[in-house]
Structure 1
Amino acid sequence: MGILSVNAGSSTLKFAIYPLQDGEVQPALLSGSFEGLEPKGQMQLSWTSGTRRQQRELAAGNDPFAQALVSLSELLETEGKALRIEAVAHRVVHGGAHFRDSVLVSADVLKALQPLCPLAPLHQPHNLEGIRNFMRVLPGLPQVACFDTAFHAHLPEVEYAFALPKAVRDEGVRRYGFHGLSYQFILGELRRHGAPASGRLLMAHLGNGASLCAAREGRSIATTMGFSAVEGLMMGTRCGTLDPGVLLYLMEQGWTHDRIQKLLYKESGLLGVSGLTADMRRLRDSDSAEAKLAIDMFTYHVVRESGALTACLGGLDVLAFSGGIGEHDARLRADAAERLAYLGVRLDEQANARATGNEVLPIHAADSSVQVWVVPTDEGRVAAQDAARLLALPANG
């Protein structure tokens, strides 16, 4: 039997099927995504099975989501991997103060999660709508919500508290942290490969969404994202940390809530600075001054915040890169490592060049005081394992 792990967006559904063996979730047998699930969209299915990657266009019909699930079932059968799906594990970005671990979804759970949508507008509404769709189309199947905030649930108060009056803090206005499923996976992979992950560990999840996490003894002690998924590092289309006075100024100039939200989440970051794209690969290929500035700013803020989190750790034993940019952009890793040389970070140039996101690899030089790793993340696998644990599924189907 297996677990279906999904990440629902506004018009996409990413999925992976994970078999269970000896009580543990195994690597995905099948993974892919549906795109074009919006009304009147052109639905397309892309998937990977083993080393084969394929795609095809589909007729969405009147209910694109239901049709996507039909197509997924057919895909399982044609690929010869017709596992019995025991549960669906959903990535949910924000769990707020109440949800500190994965939870079996009910109507009450969905109701409690809905007020958190403004804190992660690019993700949370679509995550919840995805759960509702699965509950509608597959009413007998357990649905499990797995939260990106849960890994940071035990941050020390000096880290999570804002310097605001107690009455405001008591309303849940605090730092939560995100990318927790990714950090949980990175931590497990580092341990599996023999890295001293229980020491002073800095993890960098760098992609369209980006953050850093400092962990000690396997627990998050500081992270760059906070109350919402817009704080911290510069990202693909998100600005990262911004002086609140800028927002007050824009309000004084007549900017509405929706206009400001769009600016912060969809028009800033690499896209906003470059005026070209949020895709780091395209920026690398561009010779425009704005593209170079965007890359330089992204790298600078990774280094700047790495220094801050290293100070929280009191030093650094292990540095791990992950996420779309962290796994694939050797130039960024090299530039960041060069600027962190004062901490004893040294890269092996050939190892760094070989690390292309296909496997877990150490990339530090022999004389490096800090171990440096590239760890391709798999948030879906963590969610699937949480679902299996929560539902106490037997070891083998």
Structure 2
Amino acid sequence: MSDQAILTINAGSSSIKFSVYARDGEPQELGRGQVEKLGPAARLVVHPEGASALREEIGQADHDIALQQILSHLEPILQGRQVVGVGHRIVHGGAEFAVPHVLTPDVIDQLALLEPLAPLHQPFNLAAVRAAMAAFPDALQIACFDTGFHRGHPWAFDTFALPRRYFDKGVRRYGFHGLSYDYIAGELARRDPVLARGRVIVAHLGNGASMCAIKGGQSQSSTMGFSALEGLAMGTRSGAIDPGVLLYLMEAEGMGAADLTQLLYKESGLKGLSGLTHDMRSLLASPAPEAAQAIEYYVMRIRHELGGLTADIGGLDALVFTGGVGQNAAKIRALVCDGMEWLGLSLDAAANENGVDEIGRGPVRIFALPTDEERVIARAVNGFLAPGG
């Protein structure tokens, strides 16, 4: 199997990440990278294992251009290995798809019907599938669903207070970022099996952001629901909003579905609140009062959800920060935990600033851990491939 490789593709709203793994028992990473900051100033970053990183400014790039750039830079990483499986992060699996699934034309058509539920992700996820099928026609293509980890919630955490017929039609809470939560749950189990069986809240904070309450290793509730809009404020997404505001905008501003989609997905969140940018690094460095206000709202929503999720699972044994902001922004972690001793949270300031994995000193353990959605995907693909190829 050493001459075989697995490729993973993770198409997000503002970037496309990829990883390449050798098939050798547990998949062994050969390299990874991403095209980041999609738009007028996109950049390709490739990290071959054991070699210097490659950075290449590619200028104006959408998801299609970014994917072609990635495919054109794979050969030095593959070093002659054959790609026998490609794993794809698919944001929305709907009510039908939970566990990893072989992608066929019929399955792709079914997943395309869910595009209105995840317009920033699903179309690009499926575009990556089609491109990978064309580039690697003999490889097994596997879908891994961000909604899958949340299946099996208690009913009250999965429904809205609408007539029951809508739940039966699929209008329900699905939850997202499940591949990230799956990885973190597994990492906690590796580090401390007893803790992993307890009550854990994971804050996945990035351009998209959500939180998940996990008990006994199983998702119980999540801040995201029917779509990837609900819950926390995000880079450009609004998070929680009174539905009456949407009715008002429709009636008073004459906004239709397309207008609201643009507003809620691309013009709101940190970008809308600050009037400056969606990038947390830039906001933290900015002296503008609007930047500080955007951060204040962002943190307030995290703290608000932290209290509610703790109630959902009857207490808290550990809090895990992950994602680009969660893992790297010490200031945000400090603001979230400030004054939360009543919940058992006490941050070790020095550990927090120094970037170590465990950063708490109170009864509730606090971690800042990298997530690895790509490894979860690679493991799933490897499980589908017959031993020995």
TM-score, normalised with respect to structure 2: 0.92
Q: Residue in 2 aligned with 1:17?
A: 20
Determine if contact 2:30/2:77 at 8 Å carries over to the other structure. no
Question: Who is 2:381 aligned against?
Answer: 387
Q: Deviations over 1:271-310 (max 9, x none)?
A: 0000001011111111111111100000111000000000
1:328 is displaced (CA, Å) by 0.7
Are 2:100 and 2:143, in contact at CA under 8 Å, matched by a contact in 1? yes
Return the letter of the residue paired with 2:360: H
1:202 and 2:201 correspond: yes
Cα pair distance change 1:100/1:239, threshold 3 Å: same
Identity, in percent, stands at: 47
Counterpart amino acid of residue 235 in structure 2: G
AA in 1 matched with 2:27 = V
Q: Which residue of 1 aligns with 2:289?
A: 289
* More moved, 5-14 vs 112-121: 5-14
How many pairs align?
380
Distance 1:351 1:58, change over 3 A: closer
User: Counterparts of 2:347 and 2:14 in 1: how far apart (Å)?
Assistant: 40
Shift, 1:351, TM fit: 1.0
| Secondary structure in 1 matching 2:210 | strand
Q: Which residue of 1 aligns with 2:191?
A: 193
Note the C-alpha offset of 1:266.
0.4
- CA deviations on 1:3-24 (whole Å, 9 max, x unpaired) are 11112358854211122333x2
- Match status 1:54 vs 2:79: no
Equivalent position of 2:263 in the other structure: 263
Taking structure 1 as reference, are residues 43 and 139 closer, same or farther at Cα in structure 2, changes over 3 Å only?
A: farther
SS in 1 for 2:142: strand
Matched, 1:277 2:280: no
1:74 offset after TM fit, Å? 2.6
Q: Distance in 1 between matches of 2:51 and 2:330?
A: 24
Q: Choose from 79, 90, 93 the match for 2:91.
A: 93
- Alpha-carbon distance in 2 for matches of 1:165, 1:302: 30
Mapped partners of 1:161, 1:186: distance in 2: 26
Residues 233 and 58 (structure 1), Cα distance of their counterparts in 2 relative to 1, 3 Å cut: closer
Distance 1:209 1:198 in 2: 27
Deviation at 1:133, TM superposition (A): 1.4
Pair 100,258 (structure 1): closer, same or farther in 2 beyond 3 Å: same
In the aligned structure 1, how far is the partner of 2:279 from the partner of 2:42? Answer: 23
In the other structure, the counterpart of 1:314 is 314
Please, which runs of 5 or more residues in structure 2 have no aligned partner?
Answer: none
Cα separation, 2, equivalents of 1:246 and 1:58: 40
Aligned with 2:358 (options 362, 381, 390):
362
Change (3 A) 1:278 1:83: same
Structure 1: segments with no counterpart, 5+ residues = none
Offset at 1:67? 4.9
Alignment CA distance shift 1:73-1:296 (3 Å): closer
Q: Which residue of 1 aligns with 2:177?
A: 179
| TM superposition shift of 1:82 | 3.8
Give 1:35 shift: 6.5
Contact between 1:363 and 1:373, CA under 8 Å: does it hold in 2?
yes
Query: Corresponding residue for 1:231?
Result: 230
2:369 is matched with 375
Question: Retained in 2: the 8 A contact 1:37–1:64?
Answer: no
Tell me, in whole angstroms, the C-alpha distance in 2 between the residues paired with 1:37 and 1:296.
27
- Asked if the contact 1:215–1:222 (Cα under 8 Å) also holds between the matched residues in 2, the reply is yes
- 1:154: how far off? 0.9
Looking at structure 1, the residues matched to 347 and 375 of structure 2 have their Cα atoms a distance apart, in angstroms, of: 29
Bigger shift: 5-14 or 170-179?
Answer: 5-14
Task: Show the counterpart of 2:112.
Answer: 114
> What corresponds to 2:76 in structure 1?
75
Q: Is the 8 A contact 1:175 1:227 kept in 2?
A: yes
Indicate the SS of the match to 2:73: helix
Aligned residues: CA RMSD: 2.3
Give the distance between the partners of 1:132 and 1:281, measured in 2 at CA.
34
Higher RCO (CA-CA < 8 Å; seq separation 6+)? 1
C-alpha displacement of 1:143: 0.7
| SS of structure 2 residue aligned to 1:164 | coil
Change (3 A) 1:349 1:393: farther
Instruction: State the distance in 1 between where 2:138 and 2:223 align.
Output: 39
Kept in 2: contact 1:274–1:294 (CA 8 A): yes
